[in-house]
Amino acid sequence: MPITTAFKTEIPRVSILDEHATFDEKLGKGLIPDADLVKLYEAMFQCRHLDGVAFRLQRSGRMGTYPQNMGQEATSLGAAYVLNKNDWLVTCYRENCGLFWRGVPMESILLHWMGDERGNAMPREHHATPIAVPIGTQMLHATGLAWAAKYRGEKQIACTFFGDGATSEGDFHEAANFAANLDIPVVFVCQNNFWAISVPGRIQCSAPTLAQRGIAYGMPCMQVDGNDIFATVYAMKEASAHARKEGKPYFLEMVTYRLGDHTTADDASRYRDKAEVEAWKAKDPLIRVRKHMERLKLWSDKKEADLLERTEKTVAEAVARAENIAAPHSTDFFNAMYQELPPDLALQRDTMQTHSLGQDPGQLASTDHLNKPAEHAHH
C-alpha cells in the first residue's frame, strides 16, 4: 500500500494594525466603530497608568509584589470587548485591562496585591473569576464553568487566559482534553509573551507555534498579533462564535510581550537582552492605536493631555479606596466558609476560642462578653 497523508492542516495568523500602524482595510473595516476604538484606547491607557502607580506603591512599601500588565493590554481587552456580559472571563494575573472593561473596580486589583483577599471577591454580575496565581489552574475552572452552563442548558461560554509556560502544565492538557472530547464551549487564550519568568519560550515548546498544542486536541486554532487590538477583536469574534454555535473549544495563540519584569520581585535584565525589549517597545499596542486614531482625526495631543488628567484622578481615587478600606472583621473568616455555619464553628466564631473553654463557655461565671465578637475583633 502506498504511503498516504494521515493529517494535514494550517494555522492562520491574523494581523490588522501592524507595528508601523499600517491598517488592513479589508479585514479591519467596520470591525471596531470609531467611538469604541477611542474607548478601548482610553481603557489601555488607564491600565498602563495604573501599572506605573502600582509599581511605585510596591517600591514604597504600600503594596506587595505586583505583576505589571504593560505590553499585554490588548489581549484581554479584545476578549472582554467581544464576549457577552454573562460569558465567563477566567483570568490569571495579567488581564487587568479586560477585567476593568468588565466593570471590576481598580481597587479590587490593588487590594489583592496588598494582601487583602476582599479584592478577589468579584461581584457575580461581572462573571469574572478571582485572580489565579498558580500556573494553569484557572484553565480547569473555565472548562468546569462552561461544562456546568452546558449541562444547565445555558448559553454562556468561558474564555480563559494563560501564558506560554502554562501550556507545559498538566492542568492545561487535562482542561484541553476535557473541553475537546466532551464538546465544551471554552476559548483558550494563550498569551505567548516569550518568557515564563526567566525561561524562554523556545525551551517550553520546540514546535514553531504554540497554537499547535490546540490542534493536538482537535481544536480549531489561530495565531494572533496580540499587540493589535483589531486582531484580538477579530480573533475573539471567530473563536467565540465557534464556541457558541458549535459548543466546542477554540485555541488562540496571542503573540505579545511583557515589557516589564515578571513581577516587582523580578529583574528581567538578568536574562533578557536589552535589544529584544527595545524591539518590542516599538510594537507597543497603545502606540499603534494612537497613531491610527491620529490618522483618522480621532485623537490629538489635547485629548491625550485631558485623558492623562482624568486618569490620574481615577487611579488616585482607586488607590485611596484601597488604602482606606475598613479593616476586615475577625468573624469574616467563619461567615465566608459555609453557607450555613455548623454549630461548633459558630461557637468558635462567637467565643474566638478553640480550647475546652471555647467549647463550653458555660464554664465561665459570665459569658455576656462572648456574645459581642465585634468588641473582640481587634484585640
Alpha-carbon distance of 228 to 256, in angstroms, equals 9
Q: How many CA atoms lie within 13 A of 333 on its CB side?
A: 10
Write out the DSSP string of 96-153: HHHHHHHT--HHHHHHHHTT-GGGG---GGG-BPPP--STTHHHHHHHHHHHHHHHTT
Q: Which residue has the cell 468588565?
A: 102
Catalytic residue (one of 112, 242, 258, 272): 258
Helix (H) / strand (E) element for 231: namely: helix 229-246
Nearest to 242 by CA among 210, 216, 214: 214
Q: Choose the catalytic residue: 94, 102, 112, 262.
A: 262
* 324 grid coordinates: 482606606
Distance between CA 185 and CA 142 in Å, rounded? 9
Check if 94 is active-site: no
Nearest to 192 by CA among 149, 107, 253: 253
User: From CA 226, how far away is CA 90, in angstroms rounded?
Assistant: 18
d(CA 261, CA 285): 18
Q: Which helix (H) or strand (E) holds 316?
A: helix 301-323
Are 77 and 44 in contact by the 8 Å Cβ rule? The answer is yes
Query: How crowded is residue 224: how many other Cβ atoms within 10 Å of its Cβ?
Result: 31
Annotation marks residue 152 as catalytic: no
* CB atoms near residue 301 (< 10 Å): 8
C-alpha 346: how far from chain center: 36
Catalytic residue among 56, 271, 295, 310: 271
Active site residue 271: yes
**How many residues are recorded in the chain?**
379
Residues carrying an active site annotation: 258, 262, 271
